[in-house]
Structures are given as structure tokens and as C-alpha cells.
């Protein structure tokens, strides 16, 4: 459902997650409601896919 | 003409010793009283049309989203007033706590729909409820018609506060904004500028015109038409990715072929083709 994403220049892991359903870039901002949904998804025991 | 301030009757407008407008604060629109954004329903950045069918939590007109059972509605605009007719489900607006003060508030609108404040019960226009300052709150409309929606402090509904279009749009853009999607704009439109990094990567910079509520979630679709990069010649863009934005702006990558490092680039698209980049920081 979610996938990690690496930085396009440094290739290091970013503080952004991709929602696979609509390829949405979701920043790790506690005020972002999509990020809040992601955290809830992780809290249920799920794990995001590794970055390409 | 003079102004009369009285402890029991409030501020009144007086002419020749006679009160012309009594208790002005309750009877005349005074600025910045409406806590609803896009209460006139005139801002429609997502460009929904016709019979709108929204899944749960999906937005239609700016700041208005479907309730847990979705929402089906149509809308029409006459003399700059948009009226929505909800045929099924419910339509909600979450009001940001930063814009709310504690106390009794009144929700009013024109139309047959019923509504509730927070966990209250559905009623006709003139619903009152208690608001906690600093805490997000939801208003919820059930089936029927609605226009000119207003939530204001106090227990009395007053005339709708009409804000300037640009002001209302800016208020909406705190929560959602987009590049592209303008069905009326058929010429190429420059979206962003940047620099070519290597043969495939052109890094673009874009500053959001309105600071958003939070770092936005970003989606894009450039499959509906040609998106071009003007650099050392015109190049077709095959993808946009690597978005990294905070609430004020950020950067992303346009994927091209045959790029020459060091050239600058202008990303352009035809808005009416349906291409877009959407930025969302909704509640």
C-alpha cells in the first residue's frame, strides 16, 4: 500500500512515503492527514515496500 | 448620522435622533465573521462538473468533502451564487481550529438541506452549537439544497458575508491548489523552471502561491497530453517524480531524454489537456 522513496540526487532514504494506489508523495509532516493515515497503517503492524 | 453605543442595545446607527439600524453587530455584516471557507461554493479548483459522485472523504468543491457514505450532488450558479443540491449522502466541511474561538456559534444557509454542528442533530438553517477554540470542528449537511453557508460566533444568524473572489481562493489554497486543470486555458502554460542535471533529469523549482496548512501530499498526471521541457530545444517529459515540498514550495524532477547538463529548462503544459500536479493539505 505504501513504498519508501529515495532522494533523486543522493539516493538516500527520504522523509517521504509514496501511497501506491495513486502514486501520491506524502511528506512526514505530523499535520498532514495522509501521513497520519500512514502512521495508523504502520501501527496496525504493516510495513511499507522498500524503495526502487 | 451618528453612532450610538448602548450597553443593552449595542451599537446603533442614529439619524436625527432616531435609530435607523439597531444593534448593528447582529444585523449588518461585519468583516471576517464567517468561519466557513467557500461558503458561496464559488471556488471549484478540482473542476467537478455535472452530477458529482464522491466517495467517502473525497473533495468536490473546495473545502467540501463527502461524508462516510459518500455524496452525490449537482450544482448550478445563478448571479454569482452557487447552489448545491445533495441527492444522497452528506457533504462536510472541517473547520481548522486555528480559526475558531470558544463559544456558541450559529450555522446558517439558504436552502432545504439540514445540517449539524459537530455531533449535534440535523436541523434547518439557524443551527447553534458550542465550539472549542483551537479544535477542529466539522459541519455536516444532509440531502437538499444549500448555498451561502455561514458559521459565525453568537446565537444569531446574520446576513451572509461575501468575500472577494481572490480572497476566497487564497483561503482555499491553504488546503488545496494545483497546476493545470484549467479547462478554459488551451495554450501552453509554464508550470515551473529548473536546470538540466544530466541526460534524463531536469530538476524543477516551484514556490506555492499560498503557504499551505502543512507540507502537502502531491499527486500528478501528465498522461492526458504533451508536457514539454524547453531547454536546448523542446523535449517531451515522460514523468514527474521525486517531489519534495514543504508548506511553501519545493522541487521535483522532470524526466526527459537527451538532456544536456547545465542548460536551464522551463516545464510547460496545455492546461485543458487535463495534465495536473495537485497539492493537498486538507483536514
Per the prediction, chain B carries an average pLDDT of: 92
Cβ of A27 within 8 Å of Cβ of B246? The answer is: yes
Higher pLDDT, B271 or B64: B64
Residue B28's pLDDT band (boundaries 50, 70, 90)? low
Contact A25 B213 (CB under 8 A): no
Handedness of CA B168, B172, B178, B181 (dihedral sign): negative
> Confidence class of residue B4 from pLDDT cuts 50, 70 and 90?
confident
Nearest to B227 by CA among B253, B195, B198, B197: B253
pTM of the model: 0.91
Asked which of B27-41, B80-94, B208-222 is least confident by mean pLDDT, the reply is B27-41
Query: Which of B7-21, B168-182, B225-239 has the highest average model confidence (pLDDT)?
Result: B168-182
For B198, nearest residue in chain A (alpha carbons): A9
pLDDT value, residue B25:
60
Q: In whole angstroms, give the CA distance from residue B268 to residue B172.
A: 24
Rg of chain B in Å (alpha carbons): 23
What is the mean predicted confidence (pLDDT) over B37-66? 97
Statement: residue B271 has pLDDT above 80: no
In this prediction, residues B236-252 reach a mean pLDDT of 96
> Chain B: nearest CA to A10, how far in angstroms?
11
**Largest Cα–Cα distance in chain B?**
81
Tell if the CB–CB gap between B242 and A8 is shorter than 8 Å: yes
pLDDT in tens, B86-111: 999 999 999 999 999 999 999 999 99
| Residue among A7, A9, A32 whose CB faces B215 most closely | A32
Whether B253 and A31 lie within 8 Å, measured CB to CB: no
Nearest to B280 by CA among A48, A22, A46: A22
Q: Is B209 left (phi over 0), alpha (psi -120 to 50) or beta?
A: alpha
- Distance of alpha carbon A35 from alpha carbon A31, whole angstroms: 8
Which positions ≥6 away from B277 have C-beta within 8 Å? B178, B179, B180, B191, B218, B219, B220, B240, B252
Mean pLDDT of B232-238: 91
Segment B73-78 shows an average pLDDT of 98
Instruction: Tell whether the model's pLDDT for residue B69 goes beyond 60.
Output: yes
Chain B: residue whose CA lies nearest to A5: B242
Is B29 or A50 the better-scoring residue by pLDDT? A50
How buried is B149 (Cβ within 10 angstroms: 0-12 exposed, 13-18 middle, 19+ buried)?
Answer: buried
Residues B138, B169: Cα–Cα separation, whole Å = 20
- CA nearest neighbour of A18 among A10, A7, A27, A29: A27
Give percent of chain B with pLDDT exceeding 90. 77
DSSP state of B213: S
Size of interface A-B (CB pairs under 8 A): 50
Predicted pLDDT at B72 = 98
| Nearest of B174, B157, B149, B172 to residue B91 by alpha carbon | B149
Whether B1 shows a pLDDT value over 90: the answer reads no
pLDDT at B226: 74
The span from the CA of A22 to the CA of B37, in Å, is: 27
How high is the pLDDT of residue B263?
94
Cα-only R_g, chain A: 11
Residue predicted with more confidence, A9 or B253? B253
Q: Do B243 and A14 lie within an 8 Å CB cutoff?
A: no
Which domains are present in chain B? 52-173 (2.60.120), 177-280 (2.60.40)
Our measurement of the distance from residue B104's CA atom to the centroid of its chain's CA atoms, rounded to an integer in Å, reads 25
CA distance linking residue B206 with residue B210, whole number of Å: 12
pLDDT at residue B186, as a whole number:
66
Contact B129, B107 (CB under 8 A): yes
Amino acid at each position: 500500500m505504501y513504498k519508501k522513496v529515495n532522494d533523486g540526487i543522493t539516493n538516500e532514504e527520504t522523509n517521504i512515503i509514496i501511497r501506491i494506489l495513486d502514486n501520491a508523495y506524502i511528506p512526514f509532516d505530523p499535520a498532514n492527514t495522509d501521513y497520519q493515515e500512514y502512521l495508523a497503517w504502520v501501527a496496525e503492524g504493516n510495513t511499507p515496500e522498500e524503495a526502487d | 448620522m451618528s453612532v450610538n453605543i448602548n450597553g443593552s442595545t449595542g451599537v446603533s446607527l442614529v439619524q436625527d435622533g432616531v435609530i435607523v439600524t439597531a444593534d448593528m453587530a447582529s444585523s449588518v455584516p461585519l468583516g471576517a465573521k464567517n468561519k466557513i471557507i467557500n461558503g458561496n461554493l464559488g471556488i471549484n479548483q478540482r473542476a467537478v462538473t455535472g452530477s458529482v459522485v464522491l466517495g467517502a472523504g473525497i473533495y468536490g468543491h473546495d473545502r467540501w468533502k463527502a461524508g462516510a457514505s459518500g455524496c452525490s450532488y449537482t450544482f448550478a450558479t445563478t448571479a454569482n451564487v452557487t447552489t448545491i443540491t445533495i441527492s444522497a449522502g452528506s457533504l462536510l466541511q472541517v473547520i481548522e481550529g486555528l480559526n475558531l474561538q470558544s463559544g456558541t456559534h450559529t450555522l446558517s444557509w439558504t436552502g432545504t438541506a439540514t445540517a449539524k454542528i459537530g455531533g449535534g442533530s440535523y436541523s434547518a438553517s439557524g443551527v447553534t452549537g458550542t465550539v472549542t477554540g483551537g479544535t477542529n470542528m466539522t459541519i455536516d449537511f444532509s440531502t437538499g439544497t444549500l448555498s451561502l453557508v455561514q458559521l459565525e460566533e453568537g446565537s444569531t444568524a446574520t446576513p451572509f458575508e461575501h468575500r472577494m473572489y481572490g480572497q476566497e481562493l487564497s483561503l482555499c489554497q491553504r488546503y488545496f491548489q494545483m497546476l493545470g486543470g484549467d479547462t478554459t486555458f488551451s495554450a501552453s502554460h509554464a508550470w515551473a523552471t529548473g536546470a538540466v542535471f544530466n541526460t534524463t533529469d531536469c530538476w524543477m523549482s516551484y514556490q506555492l502561491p499560498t503557504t499551505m496548512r502543512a507540507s502537502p501530499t502531491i499527486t500528478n498526471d501528465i498522461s492526458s497530453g504533451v508536457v514539454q521541457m524547453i531547454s536546448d530545444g523542446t523535449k517531451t517529459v515522460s514523468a514527474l517524480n521525486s517531489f519534495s515540498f514543504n508548506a511553501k514550495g519545493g522541487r521535483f524532477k522532470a524526466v526527459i531524454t537527451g538532456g544536456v547538463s547545465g542548460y536551464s529548462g522551463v516545464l510547460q503544459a496545455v492546461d485543458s489537456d487535463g495534465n495536473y500536479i495537485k497539492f493537498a493539505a486538507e483536514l
